[in-house]
């Protein structure tokens, strides 16, 4: 006989267990759904927080770049945004849904570098991004000119003949038109703007929108072969690159006058020594015209910030040839040579003369860890004084490692017609960057490419200059008057 009461009890227990399992599964499902929804919302909010943080980076970037050249260089490590009257380096913007807080830190060693840190918050979740950037200096080019027509000698030619090819390694920009004789080699990106206004020094205009080839362009005979000359191609009618701003010297002067630089007045000399010292000849004159210090082949440590500025005596007027003997002692000319150990800039409100090799103690071409760097900035010309260069270093070859900037003149050689030797011996190895307003003469060749006088100049770009520049250098300014910067890295912290 079956006991129905036991079966009813079993069914009840089974039903309760089944109901418990259903409830448990439902609870787990609802919890999973809630968790998934929460995770999805968090993912969405994190993405929105990322975009908010990115907006903070863009805001700070625009503030900095739109400051143009109207900025002062504060002490290293100082929090800074160019609107110094309203910003302290830390600021926040946003609303109840999303906001960002930005911190901008600056370092001026060896040049202006910014670290922008932006924390974006949306719905109580945050993301932090960091942008590191540095200014783009005019030294980003291996060679730059505003025109390739010299006001004294007329059209100057880049020469390339078998066995004697003028060689330029690195990026090249001219606002004028390149003049090509034979097949010189430009081993880097080349841009020319073909602006008649800039080539108009002699009332001349470009002959075409391409380089001016002396024998024409082609692949036979003496014709120039563009594929040989420009292995990486050439961009014609490119946008012009603004010349170094005319307040470059006042800004460098301000750095030299900040208490950690050196300011000399009148004709001076600076010799670089391989042990890191400098040997100086010149006077320090205060604003009242009183000589407060006189150096006569005095060896000393370089100024702390690495900037030396040579100025003309107050009230004195210099001629455009003040660098030629007899040199006017009151004019802001300086003569340099030697081996640089460390980072230095020498600037002059008139001219810089070079009387021998200018080299780096640790050559970055063989020692990639080298930090040795030199900037030479002249308001007028940078001139290699041939006789003294040979006398000081005893041979026809010449080392020229530096960023050379002639704001209103040329990099040139005096007595360039003087015979120095064959093209294989009389070589000027110019390493770094050459920035001159007007193309200058460094040597003379005949129609066959034989060196008749001066040096066969071989230019090589210092790749370190793509992200750094000598002390006191100012940023590249675009046509809108804003500073140009290179973004080094963007990372999520």
Q: How far is residue 358's CA from residue 399's CA, in Å, rounded to a whole number?
A: 6
Query: Tell me, what's the pLDDT at 332?
Result: 95
Q: How far is residue 283's CA from residue 276's CA, in Å, rounded to a whole number?
A: 21
CB atoms within 10 A of CB 5: 8
Are the C-beta atoms of residues 163 and 423 closer than 8 Å to each other? yes
Query: Tell me, what's the pLDDT at 326?
Result: 76
CB atoms within 10 A of CB 3: 8
- Average pLDDT on 73-98 reads 62
* pLDDT for 149 beyond 60: yes
- Average pLDDT on 150-158 reads 88
Query: Tell me, what's the pLDDT at 200?
Result: 44
Query: Tell me, what's the pLDDT at 400?
Result: 96
Look at 317 and 139; give whichever has higher pLDDT. Answer: 317
The domain spans of the chain are: 8-136+488-492, 139-468
Are the C-beta atoms of residues 243 and 146 closer than 8 Å to each other? yes
The model's pLDDT over 250-282, given as tens digits with 9 standing for 90+, comes to 888 888 988 899 999 999 999 999 999 999 999
Q: Residue 392 — pLDDT band, cuts 50, 70, 90?
A: very high
**CA 95 from centre of chain:** 39
Query: Tell me, what's the pLDDT at 72?
Result: 47
Distance (Å) of CA 25 to CA 11, 21, 30, 38, 451? 21, 6, 8, 20, 93
At a CB cut-off of 8 Å and minimum separation 6, what does 259 contact? none
* DSSP assignment string, 56-100: HHHHHHHHHHTTTT------TT-B--S-TTT--SEEEEE-SSEEE
Query: Tell me, what's the pLDDT at 62?
Result: 81
Query: Tell me, what's the pLDDT at 199?
Result: 46
- Token pair 């540095």 is found at 134
- Average pLDDT on 10-29 reads 68
- Average pLDDT on 361-368 reads 94
Query: Tell me, what's the pLDDT at 461?
Result: 92
Query: Tell me, what's the pLDDT at 198?
Result: 44
* DSSP assignment string, 186-233: EES-EEE---HHHHGGGT---SSSS-EETT-B-SSTT-B-HHHH-TT-
Structure tokens at 376: 């030479």
Q: How far is residue 370's CA from residue 264's CA, in Å, rounded to a whole number?
A: 29
- Token pair 């609107």 is found at 83
- Average pLDDT of the chain, as a whole number: 83
Query: Tell me, what's the pLDDT at 284?
Result: 92
Structure tokens at 325: 């003997």
**CA 76 from centre of chain:** 19
- Token pair 């100024």 is found at 303
- Average pLDDT on 131-155 reads 86
> Beta partners for 135?
485
The phi, psi pair for 393, rounded to 5°, reads -120, -5
Look at 238 and 218; give whichever has higher pLDDT. Answer: 238
The model's pLDDT over 406-463, given as tens digits with 9 standing for 90+, comes to 999 999 999 999 988 887 888 899 999 999 999 999 988 877 778 899 998 888 999 8
The model's pLDDT over 304-344, given as tens digits with 9 standing for 90+, comes to 999 999 999 998 999 877 777 778 999 999 999 999 999 99
Q: How far is residue 174's CA from residue 435's CA, in Å, rounded to a whole number?
A: 10
**CA 477 from centre of chain:** 11
CA angle 66, 239, 137 (to 5 degrees): 50
CA-closest candidate to residue 416, choices 448, 379, 380, 381: 381
The fraction of the chain above a pLDDT of 70, given in percent, is 80
- Average pLDDT on 80-102 reads 69
Q: Residue 167 — pLDDT band, cuts 50, 70, 90?
A: confident
Q: How far is residue 126's CA from residue 49's CA, in Å, rounded to a whole number?
A: 6
Q: Whole-prediction pTM value? A: 0.77
The phi, psi pair for 231, rounded to 5°, reads -60, -25
Structure tokens at 231: 């292995």
The model's pLDDT over 26-73, given as tens digits with 9 standing for 90+, comes to 665 555 555 555 676 778 888 888 988 998 898 888 877 776 544 444
Query: Tell me, what's the pLDDT at 395?
Result: 81
CA-closest candidate to residue 301, choices 321, 267, 272, 263: 272
CB atoms within 10 A of CB 113: 19
């Amino acid at each position: 006989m079956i006991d129905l009461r036991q079966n009813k009890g079993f069914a009840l227990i089974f039903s309760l267990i089944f109901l418990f399992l259903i409830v448990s599964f439902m609870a787990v499902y609802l919890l999973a759904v809630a968790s998934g929804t929460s995770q999805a919302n968090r993912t969405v909010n994190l993405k929105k927080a990322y975009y908010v943080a990115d907006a903070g980076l863009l805001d700070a970037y625009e503030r900095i770049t739109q400051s143009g050249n109207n900025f002062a260089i504060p002490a290293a490590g100082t929090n800074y945004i160019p609107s110094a009257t309203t910003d302290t380096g830390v600021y926040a913007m946003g609303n109840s849904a999303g906001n960002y807080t930005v911190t901008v830190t600056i370092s001026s060693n060896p040049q202006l570098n910014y670290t922008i840190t932006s924390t974006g918050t949306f719905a109580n979740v945050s993301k932090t991004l960091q942008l590191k950037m540095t200014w783009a200096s005019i030294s980003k080019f291996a060679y730059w000119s505003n025109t390739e027509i010299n006001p004294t000698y007329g059209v100057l030619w880049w020469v390339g003949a078998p066995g004697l090819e003028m060689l330029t390694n690195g990026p090249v920009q001219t606002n004028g038109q390149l003049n090509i004789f034979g097949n010189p080699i430009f081993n880097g990106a080349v841009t020319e703007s073909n602006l008649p206004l800039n080539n108009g020094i002699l009332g001349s205009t470009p002959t075409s929108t391409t380089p001016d080839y002396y024998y024409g362009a082609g692949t036979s005979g003496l014709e120039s072969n563009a594929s040989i000359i420009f292995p990486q191609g050439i961009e014609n009618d490119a946008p012009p690159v603004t010349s170094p701003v005319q307040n470059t010297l006042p800004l460098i002067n301000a750095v030299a006058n900040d208490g950690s630089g050196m300011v000399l007045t009148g004709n001076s000399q600076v010799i670089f020594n391989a042990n890191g010292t400098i040997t100086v000849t010149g006077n320090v004159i205060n604003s009242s015209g009183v000589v407060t210090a006189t150096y006569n082949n005095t060896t000393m440590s370089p100024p702390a910030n690495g900037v030396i500025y040579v100025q003309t005596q107050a009230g004195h007027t210099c001629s455009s040839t003040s660098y030629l003997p007899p040199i006017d002692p009151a004019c802001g000319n300086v003569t340099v040579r030697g081996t640089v150990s460390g980072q230095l800039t020498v600037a002059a409100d008139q001219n810089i003369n070079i009387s021998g090799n200018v080299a780096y103690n640790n050559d970055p071409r063989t020692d990639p860890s080298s930090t040795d760097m030199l900037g030479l900035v002249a308001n007028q010309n940078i001139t290699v004084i041939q006789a003294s260069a040979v006398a000081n270093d005893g041979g026809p070859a010449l080392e020229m490692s530096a960023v050379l900037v002639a704001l209103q003149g040329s990099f040139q050689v005096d007595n360039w017609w003087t015979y120095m030797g064959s093209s294989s011996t009389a070589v000027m190895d110019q390493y770094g960057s050459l920035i001159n307003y007007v193309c200058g003469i460094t040597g003379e060749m005949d129609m066959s490419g034989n060196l008749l006088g001066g040096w066969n100049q071989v230019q090589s770009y210092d790749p370190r200059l793509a992200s750094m520049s000598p002390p006191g250098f100012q940023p590249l300014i675009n046509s809108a008057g804003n500073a140009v910067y290179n973004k080094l890295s963007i990372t999520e912290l």
